[in-house]
Amino acid sequence: MSLFLSCGEASGDRYAAAFLTALRSRRPDLACWGMVGSRTQAAGAEAFRSSGELELIGLTEVLPALPRLWRLRARLVEEIRRRRPEAVVVVDSPDFHLPLVKSLRREGYDGPVIHIAPPTVWAWRRGRSKTLRDCHVLCLPLFDFENRLFLELGVRSRWKGHPLLETCRHWNSGVKENPLSGVPVVALLPGSRAGEIRELMPVLREVADDLAERGWCPVFSVAPGLSEEGRERLSALSGGHSLHEGPAAELLARCRVAVASSGTVTVEALLLDRFTVVGYRLSFLTWLVGRRLCPLAHYAMPNILAGEEIYPELIQSRWSSRAVLKALMAYEEDETYRLELHRKMARARERELGEEGAFDFWAETVLEVLRR
């Protein structure tokens, strides 16, 4: 049995690795190859190309890279046609993977196609659901509201629960010390992409310096899978403050509060019951286009699940050390506010997250599709 697997960005590599591990526990003879990251390679996949080639953010990075991405897509289509895998599984990065799937179908590939962490059609570009329907893609989304919407739109979709439930339960159960006692640790998580680190680190460094003077212990998270160049840049910008090189959830489980880029890590923070200030900065052009195409009230997933801003969102010009520190001190100094936030966080965790076992569910689903 041969499987083509393609993932984008750090979270995609993490999900792909855990999915592949679950799949190979059932089918040890599985031959898996594709565009993968270091974690998925460690799980047994052959890296035909690196998923790091998709780690771009915003129009200013994507537009110059388009010719390279088109060539990459053509090369993958050619190789899939040559090797004829029994199934194609793509994870995250829909702006690359949906055109890839369309090209495969045009070139005659008629095997099953599964999209893990499919496009957020609930947020913008709902027309992508037509591509999913026309290309007969089976979606395995992360949240229940996504699954319900896909089904309403006529897209094949299955869901059990969010994959981070298992990871965060592990870290919650493994923490011995009380994160609210002793020297308070603040987790600073600038993300895994070069653009995020470049935009967020100057403010995070100022926040770290200020908190250190107040007696806090600031710790920067070095995202697993970050390139060597990215690690060196983050280390240089950290100003000598502590670095954490393990999973972000491990650091979150041991911190009092966090400051993070908008992304998967905010869901981990919610599952671990850690108050988080969320920051994001894009180029002006990317931000302007995004605001017109995706006019959401909230951008951090915990806030979307809660239906209100429980995690302060400091986007674009609002992203400053002063604003971050103000949000952190409000949480630290106002007990009534703090307790109410945790009640709202608990309610948000109860919505749309389902039950544990997502990776096993994905593996069983793929095997079921292949048995047909």
Q: Is 104 in the same domain as 221?
A: no
8 Å CB contact between 260 and 220:
no
**Where does the pLDDT of residue 57 fall: very low under 50, low under 70, confident under 90, or very high at 90 and above?**
low
**Where does the pLDDT of residue 283 fall: very low under 50, low under 70, confident under 90, or very high at 90 and above?**
low
Residue 66 pLDDT > 90: no
Question: Nearest 5°: phi and psi at 200?
Answer: -95, -30
Q: How many domains does the chain have?
A: 2
Q: What pLDDT score was predicted for residue 252?
A: 94
Selection from 193, 188, 127, 191 nearest residue 155 by Cα: 127
* Token output for 192: 């895994």
- Name the most confidently modeled range: 134-148, 227-241, 345-359: 134-148
Q: Is 216 in the same domain as 273?
A: yes
Q: What pLDDT score was predicted for residue 177?
A: 47
* Predicted confidence (pLDDT) per residue in 131-140, tens digit: 999 999 999 9
Tell me which of 282 and 265 has the higher pLDDT: 265
Question: Nearest 5°: phi and psi at 187?
Answer: -85, 130
pTM of the model as a whole: 0.86
DSSP E strands, the chain: 2-7, 31-36, 46-50, 87-91, 113-116, 137-140, 185-189, 217-221, 242-244, 257-261, 275-280, 313-315
Q: Is 212 in the same domain as 101?
A: no
Residue 181 pLDDT > 60: no
Q: How far apart are the first and last CA of the chain?
A: 14
Q: What pLDDT score was predicted for residue 123?
A: 76
Q: What is the mean pLDDT of residues 192-198?
A: 79
Q: What pLDDT score was predicted for residue 230?
A: 80
Q: Is 25 in the same domain as 63?
A: yes
Which residue has tokens 């460094």? 205
* Predicted confidence (pLDDT) per residue in 86-132, tens digit: 999 999 999 999 999 999 999 999 999 999 999 999 877 889 999 99
Q: Is 247 in the same domain as 335?
A: yes
* Predicted confidence (pLDDT) per residue in 287-327, tens digit: 444 555 555 667 799 999 999 999 999 987 899 999 999 99
Q: What pLDDT score was predicted for residue 37?
A: 92
Q: Is 202 in the same domain as 150?
A: no
Q: Is 128 in the same domain as 157?
A: yes
Question: For all residues of the chain together, what is the average pLDDT?
Answer: 89
* Token output for 341: 């936030």
The domain that contains 254 carries what CATH number?
3.40.50.2000
* Token output for 251: 């650091």
Selection from 35, 156, 134 nearest residue 89 by Cα: 35
Facing residues of 188 across strands? 220, 259
Q: Is 203 in the same domain as 116?
A: no
Q: Is 134 in the same domain as 239?
A: no
**Where does the pLDDT of residue 176 fall: very low under 50, low under 70, confident under 90, or very high at 90 and above?**
very low
| % of the chain exceeding 90 in pLDDT | 67
Radius of gyration, CA atoms only, the chain: 21
Burial 331-340 (b: 16+ CB within 10 A, else e): bbeeeeebee
Q: What pLDDT score was predicted for residue 259?
A: 98
* Domain that includes residue 123, residue range: 2-163+357-371
Q: Is 141 in the same domain as 202?
A: no
Q: Is 132 in the same domain as 180?
A: no
* Predicted confidence (pLDDT) per residue in 1-47, tens digit: 899 999 977 778 999 999 999 999 999 999 999 999 999 999 999 99
Q: Is 173 in the same domain as 272?
A: yes
Furthest-apart CA atoms within the chain: distance in Å: 63
